[in-house]
Structures are given as C-alpha cells and as structure tokens.
Chain A
Amino acid sequence: MRSDRIFCDLPTVALQSFEAIKYATAYPKGAVLFVEGQAPRGIFVLCKGRVKLSICATDGKTLILKIAEPGEVLGLSATVSGKPYELTAETIDPCQVNFVKREDFLRFLKDNSEACFKVAEQLSEKYNSACHEVRSLGLSHSASEKLAKLLLEWSSKNGEAAKQEPRLKLALTHEEIAQMIGTSRETVTRLFADLKKRQIVQSKGSTLVIRNKVALKTMATNG
C-alpha cells in the first residue's frame, strides 16, 4: 500500500531511517490517540483503520472535522510547530498506527529532504481540507445544504463518483454526522427521513444509495 500513500512512499534509505524511530501499535475502536490542547508528543501515521478528528467548544459542543483514512499523518502540524494538538483524534475502527516521538521526527525531517517534502504535501492537503470546511460551515445557508454536500463528498470516494447511483457506507451515527455539519441530531434524522421520503436516497442496511444525484447536487447549492 506504500505507493498509494503520500507519506509512506519514501525512498528506501528514508524508510529505513523511519523504521528505526517508529513504534508500531494497535488500538481498539474508541481509543483516543491525542486530545485537543495537549502538548504534542509526536505524530501518528495511520496504517489501518479510521480515526475521527474533532474540535470542541468550551460549552462541550463538538465539531467533527473529518474522518482520517489510512496513510494520513495525524498530529503533524502540532508536532512540527510545537503548539498544542488542535484536534482530538479518536479511533472509529480497530487501528494500526506508527507513532514517532517529536524530537525523533524533527531530526528525521532535518536529515531527509524528501520526507520534508512529503510532510509539506500532507500539510498542504490538510490546509485545503480545512479551507473547504470553513467554506462549508461558514457559507452554507442551511443544514440540508451542508448534509447534501457531505453525502456528495462521501459518495465521490472509492470509485463511486462516476456511478449513476453511488453508494456509501454510513460509518457515523446521526449524532456524529450532526457534529460534522454543526447542527443537531434531531435535524439530521429529520433531513434523512425527508431525503428518503423524496426518494433522493435509499437505505440498505448501513449502506446509503444515492438514487437522485441531481436533486442532491441542487440541495447542495441551494439549501
């Protein structure tokens, strides 16, 4: 899987150096890798499984920023800058993770220019995602617009984008989806019921089929 993942596809020499400084660990579902506000101890390279990345307000309200997929490096910007982790990372599947201590990682970057480039690429991707979130959260008119955008984004992965009726696995609860789009669980449940009633989506177990992509795209732009 190395060649598919930005950070993992390093030259052999760099990978050998990386092997010497990493700690491979398995985590069960529901494990917290790091908490928003903690001092950065190091990075977590996600090899297998998915991780929920979230931020929290002082009143306890939570916003899920994204679901990290294998290949992503978590805690990267905090580890590089020395500032506290900006997000909380919690596993939503059993995960395999490579942890690298901060001082070892910074030394690794100083010694390996290709790794430094790869890190820059990963940070660029994360920045792009964050800007996308700002646009989506700050400029979308309604919860239905944000939900439609989210479903379209999820359905464009794993080769489903070109299909007439793309499918996606709903890995999150209505509560967690609400936390992703900044609304309430009740609103998400109501919106899904409406989408099903209008036959825009159809549930097949934990799989959601998008029956009417055009209608969903209209919702995503008009709300």
Chain B
Amino acid sequence: MESAIQPRCLECALRPDRVFCDLPTNALEAFDSVKSTIVCPRNTVLFREGQPARGVFVLCEGRAKLSVCSESGKRLTLHIAVPGEVLGLSAALSGTVYEVTAELLDNAQVASVKRKDLLAFLREHREACLRVVDLLSQDLHIAYDRVRSVGLGRSRRSRALPS
C-alpha cells in the first residue's frame, strides 16, 4: 500500500467508483463520524467465521480473502474482496455470527463501523440503506456463483475461483 492513510471519505478520490462510498454529502459526513480508519498489515484477520458480528469493515485499500472452514480445519475460499466492498455486512445487519473468515491479502486501509452505529446510520440515511441492499444483492450473486462452482463442478480445477 503506497498512499498515506485517507481519513475522510469526503476527500477520497476513489468515491465515485464505489457503490457504498458514493453517498450524498450529508450521509458521508455522518459516516465519517461513526467510522474508525485503521491500517492493517497483510494476513490480519479482520473477523472469523462463527464470531458474533460486532460491525462491518469497509475495504478502502487492499484485498481480503473470504473463506469458510470445516470442523476438520479444511478451508475453502468463497471470494477475494476488493476495495470498495463492505465486509461482514449481512452478519452485522442480522445480528448473527460472521459466516466467513476475512483475512487480508495485502497491507490494507480499512474503515470499521460498530454494529449499533451502522444500524443507526442506515435508519437515518435511506440512500445508504438502498446502497446496502444493492451490496447485499451483489454478495449473494457471488455466493450463488460459488455454490454453482463447488456443487456442480466435476473436477478439482473447476472448484478454483475464477481469475
């Protein structure tokens, strides 16, 4: 990661390219006030599958691997998240446990928001809620694609993530 930490969403040059980030100004100002921006090294585990969801993590820079694990410890990658994605969203919204483990593949800048602050923010800003619905739909598409590839793929190769 080459750039310095970008503390304010309003000043982020990458905003227009990202579904969640490109919110109206008043919503972004409110989001800036509830988030905590952190820089994490590669291999940091943001959250683990099965942990109670305490909040979400907006990936500002860097990538993260989302995976699921069997009882025997065997791991399967669901998706490689890229900047702009909001990790842990469905678990935080439903108040359950994280369905996946999120581990950073690069040094990354991450904006974390506590669950109760996120829920209050979404209730206050309808446009943000609509974006979240959009994001969740995209997450679901990705998950169904993965179900298709592991459930209907015949060879080991077909279980690999598409490049």
Q: Give the interface SS of chain B, mostly helix, strand, loop or mixed.
A: helix
Determine if B133 and A130 form an interchain contact, defined as CB atoms under 8 angstroms apart.
no
Q: In chain A between 107 and 153, which residues have their CB closer than 8 angstroms to a CB of chain B?
A: 109-110, 113, 116-117, 119-121, 123-128, 130-135, 137-140
Contact of B133 among A56, A80, A221 (CB under 8 A): A80
Partner of B123, one of A87, A117, A126, A134: A117
Q: Provide the B101-135 mask, 1 if CB < 8 A to any CB of A, else 0.
A: 00000000000000000000011001001101110
Q: How far is the CA of A140 from the CA of B138 in the complex (A)?
A: 26
Chain B nearest CB, measured from A81 CB (Å):
4
Collect the chain B residues with CB atoms within 8 Å of residue A138's CB.
Answer: 68, 76, 146, 150-151, 159
CA distance A132 to B138 in the complex (A): 17
Asked if B25 CB lies within 8 Å of chain A CBs, one says no
Q: B78 interface residue, CB < 8 Å from A? A: yes
Residues of B close to A119: CB separation below 8 A: 133
Write out the residue numbers on chain A whose beta carbons fall within 8 Å of the beta carbon of B136: 77, 120, 123-124, 127
Contact with B along A44-83 (1 / 0, CB 8 A): 0000000000011100010101000000000011101101
By a CB distance below 8 angstroms, the chain A residues around B133 are 80, 109, 116, 119-120, 123
Considering the chains assembled together, what is the distance between the CA atoms of A138 and B146 in angstroms?
9
Tell me if A130 and B93 are in contact (CB < 8 A). Answer: no
Cα A139 to Cα B144 in complex, Å, equals 16
Is A134 a contact partner of B68 (Cβ separation < 8 A)?
yes
Residue of B nearest to A62 (CB): B152
Question: Count of chain B residues with Cβ under 8 Å from any Cβ of A?
Answer: 39
Is the CB of A90 closer than 8 A to any CB of chain B? no
The prevalent SS among residues of A at the interface is: helix
- B71 is an interface residue with CB less than 8 A from chain A: yes
A94 within 8 A of B: no
Contacts of A55 in B (CB 8 A): 144, 147-148, 151-152
- Structural contact, A63 and B74, CB atoms closer than 8 A: no
CB of A137 within 8 A of CB of B123, answer no
The residues of A that contact B141 with a CB separation of less than 8 Å are 77, 81, 83, 86
Assess the A113–B129 pair: CB atoms within 8 A.
yes
Q: Looking at the complex, which one of A81, A133, A134 makes contact with B138 (CB distance below 8 Å)?
A: A81
CB-nearest residue of chain A relative to B97? A128
Given known contacts A55-B147, A117-B129, A131-B68, is B94 in contact with A80 (CB within 8 Å)?
Answer: no
CB neighbours of B68 from chain A (8 A): 131, 134-135, 138-139
Of the residues A109, A128, A137, contact of B96 by C-beta under 8 Å = A128
Report which of A113, A116, A130, A221 forms a contact with B144, defined as CB distance below 8 A: A130
**Which residue from chain B places its CB closest to the CB of A181 in the assembled complex?**
B151
Excluding A63-B147, A81-B138, 9 further A-B contacts by CB distance (< 8 Å) are A86-B140, A117-B122, A124-B93, A125-B94, A127-B139, A128-B99, A130-B140, A132-B99, A138-B150
Task: List 6 A-B residue pairs with CB atoms under 8 Å apart, sorted by A's residue number.
Answer: A55-B144, A110-B126, A120-B129, A128-B96, A130-B146, A131-B99
